[in-house]
């Protein structure tokens, strides 16, 4: 079905009339249910035997899942050689998401990102990469021993956060590096900001290379007229989606969608088989089957109810002087904004994002992440009016405690420099070289051998082989003081950091 939205055509797939009856099926889940109903005698793994042997204190909570926790026995197919119900479930997912082929990922979007990069790049080959990408993209580059050409993102001056990359920057990089094997972008960002991916795909394809998209936070895109088009609808060659993040699959359940002839699918699926577990979880795979069915048959109606409530929340809190919600305008550096992401930007010196997060959690409201200037909350079709009313009341209660207001003025060059580092050595080389541990304050000018990743959102400030400069040091000290959690480092408190040892 095609609906008009804000002057553009949006192909909305999430409705029964678009697909017909077949999308109401969930073949993998249905087969697991049929098997459980037979009350079979289990002489195969897993050892809990459909829940007959399990911790007594937790058995009641887990029992329904344990009965579906199976292995590759007759009739249940095999993820690594699908020919039955898994193949059928993946085919239904491909149809729903507008792909030529879809593969289930039991390892999150991480495993899809790794496989994509290893499929398109051989050792020493270049790949254009958005600098504010997830750490899994860097890990994929390291495993492939590829050479990244980093694309610096545009910065939203209203919030100081990095958005997507500009088409002209990608075009310029492709002209400067005609031997690049692919362009890898993140769309949308963690905060819900996106680019015009269709126009970007046109630019990339003019240079004859594939466009790969980490669409972890956009599995719902294209299923409602209020949402942007998906990567598949926009012409990307491959997209990885965390089907558990913004829609209803179980945590760690994701999908990889592929279309066109620019990617060697045999090589891609071979790498995927190496990276995925040889004992994939059937409850996780079945949740992907059900999430796809829910997206098509139920979620659009739930969003119809939710979206006006989100509008009311923003209207209700718009008068608060200490905070602001991002608003898409003609001057925005991003082209799309996910209405499900509630991205709170602070305009006061009296509070930081961590303090607001603490207040929220004291009232039973648990946001997705916080930093010094922001709090991010992720809504979904499962968000209720009660949830939003509790949030609104909490935000309204904070205002009397704010004594002063400061408009934060962001300089584009300052924020962009967060993503510009001197690369001294390739990532995959430096991690195997001799290292030493120094107090963070003494590491200025040294080459880092760890990946320094504030988490969430999982976007590295420094990657192995980059030199620690004044800008990155300032950011690390500020984040450390605010009790940010760090991944990728030996010292999670970041009192110390590992750097390349000087040659004696």
Confidence of residue 321 (pLDDT cuts 50, 70, 90): very high
Q: What is the DSSP letter of 411?
A: P
CB contact at 8 A, 388 and 313: yes
Question: Is 165 in the same domain as 285?
Answer: yes
CB contact at 8 A, 236 and 263: no
Provide the number of structural domains found in the chain: 4
Confidence of residue 18 (pLDDT cuts 50, 70, 90): low
| Mean pLDDT in residue range 68-87 | 97
Question: Is 189 in the same domain as 103?
Answer: yes
Tens digits of per-residue pLDDT, 365-384? 999 999 889 999 999 999 99
Structural domain contains residue 192: yes
Question: Is 271 in the same domain as 346?
Answer: no
Tens digits of per-residue pLDDT, 439-450? 999 999 999 999
Question: Is 279 in the same domain as 344?
Answer: no
Question: Is 206 in the same domain as 265?
Answer: yes
Question: Is 285 in the same domain as 303?
Answer: no
Task: Give the CATH number of the domain where residue 464 resides.
Answer: 3.90.100.10
Dump strand ranges (E) for 368-470: 369-370, 374-378, 435-439, 453-454
Structural domain contains residue 317: yes
Tokens representing residue 121 in the block: 């790049």
Task: Give the CATH number of the domain where residue 354 resides.
Answer: 3.90.1150.10
| Mean pLDDT in residue range 457-465 | 86
| Mean pLDDT in residue range 57-84 | 97
Helices (H), 438-485: 470-481
Match 């077949």 to its residue by tokens.
22
Question: Is 393 in the same domain as 342?
Answer: yes
Per the structure, the complete domain to which residue 29 belongs is given by 2-39+82-297
pLDDT at 8 over 90: no
Measure the CA–CA gap between 102 and 79, rounded to whole angstroms: 12
Task: Single out the residue of 19, 31, 22 nearest to residue 84, CA to CA.
Answer: 31
Confidence of residue 504 (pLDDT cuts 50, 70, 90): very low
Tens digits of per-residue pLDDT, 223-270? 999 999 999 999 999 999 999 999 999 999 999 999 999 999 999 999
Q: Kindly state the helix (H) or strand (E) to which residue 103 belongs, with its residue range.
A: strand 101-106
pLDDT at 28 over 90: yes
Can you name the residues that pair with 104 across neighbouring β-strands?
255
State the pairing for strand pair 336-337/193-194: antiparallel
Task: Single out the residue of 419, 476, 373 nearest to residue 163, CA to CA.
Answer: 419
Question: Is 329 in the same domain as 437?
Answer: no
Structural domain contains residue 406: no
Give the pLDDT confidence score for residue 412 in this predicted structure.
Answer: 38
Q: Kindly state the helix (H) or strand (E) to which residue 9 belongs, with its residue range.
A: strand 8-11
Question: Is 34 in the same domain as 44?
Answer: no
Tokens representing residue 4 in the block: 């008009």
Task: Single out the residue of 427, 433, 440 nearest to residue 494, CA to CA.
Answer: 440
Structural domain contains residue 313: yes
Structural domain contains residue 408: no
Structural domain contains residue 46: yes
| Mean pLDDT in residue range 481-489 | 85
pTM for this structure? 0.91
Structural domain contains residue 416: no
Tens digits of per-residue pLDDT, 276-310? 999 999 999 999 999 999 999 999 999 999 999 99
Task: Give the CATH number of the domain where residue 12 resides.
Answer: 3.40.640.10
Question: Is 177 in the same domain as 269?
Answer: yes
Question: Is 186 in the same domain as 315?
Answer: no
CB contact at 8 A, 498 and 436: yes
Give the pLDDT confidence score for residue 406 in this predicted structure.
Answer: 46
| Distance, C-alpha 143 to centroid of its chain | 20
Measure the CA–CA gap between 202 and 215, rounded to whole angstroms: 18
Give the pLDDT confidence score for residue 446 in this predicted structure.
Answer: 95
Give the pLDDT confidence score for residue 19 in this predicted structure.
Answer: 72
Question: Is 276 in the same domain as 320?
Answer: no
Measure the CA–CA gap between 27 and 86, rounded to whole angstroms: 8
pLDDT at 410 over 70: no
Q: What percent of the chain has pLDDT over 90?
A: 82
CB contact at 8 A, 151 and 200: no
pLDDT at 454 over 90: no
Boundary-marking domain end, from 297, 324, 340: 297
Match 């898409």 to its residue by tokens.
328
Boundary-marking domain end, from 243, 271, 297: 297
Q: How many CB atoms lie within 10 A of CB 278?
A: 10
Boundary-marking domain end, from 371, 401, 431: 401
Helices (H), 399-469: 412-416, 427-430
Structural domain contains residue 109: yes
If you compute the radius of gyration of the chain from its CA atoms, what whole number of angstroms results?
23
């Amino acid at each position: 079905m095609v609906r008009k939205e804000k002057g553009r055509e949006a192909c909305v797939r999430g409705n029964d009339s678009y697909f017909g009856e077949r999308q109401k099926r969930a073949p993998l889940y249905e087969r697991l249910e049929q098997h459980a109903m037979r009350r079979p005698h289990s002489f195969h793994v897993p050892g809990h035997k459909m829940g007959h042997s399990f911790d007594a204190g937790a058995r009641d909570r887990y029992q329904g899942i344990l009965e579906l926790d199976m292995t590759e026995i007759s009739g249940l197919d095999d993820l690594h050689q699908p020919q039955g119900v898994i193949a059928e479930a993946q085919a239904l997912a491909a149809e729903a998401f507008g792909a030529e082929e879809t593969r289930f990922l039991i390892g999150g979007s991480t495993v899809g990102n790794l496989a994509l990069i290893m499929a398109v790049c051989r050792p020493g080959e270049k790949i254009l990469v958005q600098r504010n990408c997830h750490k899994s993209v860097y890990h994929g580059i390291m495993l492939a021993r590829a050479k990244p050409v980093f694309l610096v993102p545009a910065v939203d001056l209203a919030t100081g956060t990095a958005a997507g990359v500009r088409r002209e920057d990608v075009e310029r990089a492709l002209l400067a590096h005609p031997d690049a094997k692919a362009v890898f972008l993140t769309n949308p960002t963690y905060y819900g900001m996106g680019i015009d991916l269709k126009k970007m795909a046109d630019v990339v394809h003019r240079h004859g290379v594939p466009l790969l998209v980490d669409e972890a936070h956009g599995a719902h895109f294209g299923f409602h007229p209020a949402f942007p088009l998906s990567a598949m609808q926009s012409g990307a060659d491959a997209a990885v989606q965390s089907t558990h993040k913004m829609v209803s699959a179980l945590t760690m359940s994701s999908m990889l969608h592929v279309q066109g002839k620019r990617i060697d699918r045999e090589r891609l699926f071979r790498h995927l088989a190496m990276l995925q577990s040889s004992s994939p979880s059937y409850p996780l795979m079945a949740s992907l089957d059900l999430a796809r069915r829910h997206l098509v048959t139920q979620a659009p109606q739930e969003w119809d109810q939710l979206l006006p409530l989100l509008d009311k929340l923003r209207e209700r809190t718009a008068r608060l002087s200490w905070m602001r919600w991002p608003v898409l305008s003609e001057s925005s550096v991003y082209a799309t904004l996910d209405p499900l992401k509630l991205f709170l930007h602070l305009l006061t010196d009296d509070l930081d994002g961590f303090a607001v997060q603490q207040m929220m959690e004291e009232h039973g409201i648990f946001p997705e992440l916080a930093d010094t200037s922001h709090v991010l909350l992720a809504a979904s079709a499962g968000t209720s009016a009660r949830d939003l009313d509790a949030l609104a009341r909490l935000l309204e209660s904070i205002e009397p405690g704010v004594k002063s207001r400061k408009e934060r003025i962001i300089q584009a060059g300052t924020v962009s420099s967060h993503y510009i580092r001197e690369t001294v050595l390739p990532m995959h080389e430096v991690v195997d070289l001799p290292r030493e541990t120094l107090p963070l304050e003494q590491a200025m000018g040294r080459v880092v051998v760890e990946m320094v990743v504030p988490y969430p959102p999982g976007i590295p400030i420094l990657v192995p082989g980059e030199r620690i400069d004044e800008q990155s040091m300032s950011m690390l000290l500020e984040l450390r003081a605010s009790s940010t959690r760090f991944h990728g480092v030996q010292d999670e408190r970041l009192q110390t950091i590992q750097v390349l040892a000087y040659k004696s």
